[in-house]
A and B are shown apart, each in its own frame.
Chain A
């Protein structure tokens, strides 16, 4: 298995532009998580899905952030408009409910820089 796949790996954009981050979870996993990592706040959960349905989006910082999961193999996190304070590394993770441990597996992350 290729593991969790994220694209792009790096994104540099200007303030006000729309940014779309993409994630492909591990095949067969039914939970998908979006996290954000910054030096100041560490790793924070933004939103997670179960069977493509958003379950908890309480971590989404503001209305500028939105996430979708149109099918079991693809999810997007969109920021519109982007701001410099959105600069961070964004991680996607997936897990399998029926697995005893429900262990989460992380992708390599997307490093976002908003100028």
Chain B
């Protein structure tokens, strides 16, 4: 059974700092990995999706990497802003299955 872990559970940084969020998974036979953002009381917004054949994806100040062999993904946020404050979730899709298995998330607070 796939298990997805995100550490730390919460992170607080000053504005302008670069930061890395971590995601690990137990079964390396994944089809893709998706990073989401969730604001309080809101739904999930897809940030980046990395296919199993890819090493990284970039969107603006966000960069996600994937190392299947070690079962790890990182989300790098450059020059953090208070508007980046949210919970960040990673989710993996395994093989032919369509469903996603989610981590418990990292709650990020960027202090002005």
Chain A residues proximal to chain B, CB less than 8 Å: 4, 31, 33, 42-45, 48, 50, 55-56, 59, 91, 93, 95, 100-109, 111
Contact = CB atoms under 8 A, between A and B. Distances in A.
A21 B105 CA distance: 25
Contacts of B41: 111
Contacts of B34: 103-104
Interface stretch (B11-19, B58-66, B96-104): B96-104
Given A42-B105, A101-B49, A107 B43 contact: yes
Contact of B49 (A33, A103, A111): A103
Interface in B87-111: 89, 91, 93, 97-100, 102-105
A56 B93 CA distance: 14
A100 B51 contact: yes
Contacts of B49: 101, 103
Given A101-B49, A102-B93, A91 B43 contact: yes
Contacts of A111: 41
Given A43-B89, A100-B51, A101-B32, A106 B99 contact: no
A45 B100 contact: yes
Given A108-B42, A108-B43, A95 B98 contact: yes
A102 B43 contact: no
B44 to A, nearest CB: 4
Nearest to A93: B44
Contacts of B98: 31, 33, 48, 50, 55-56, 95, 102
Contacts of B89: 43
Contacts of B44: 91, 93, 106
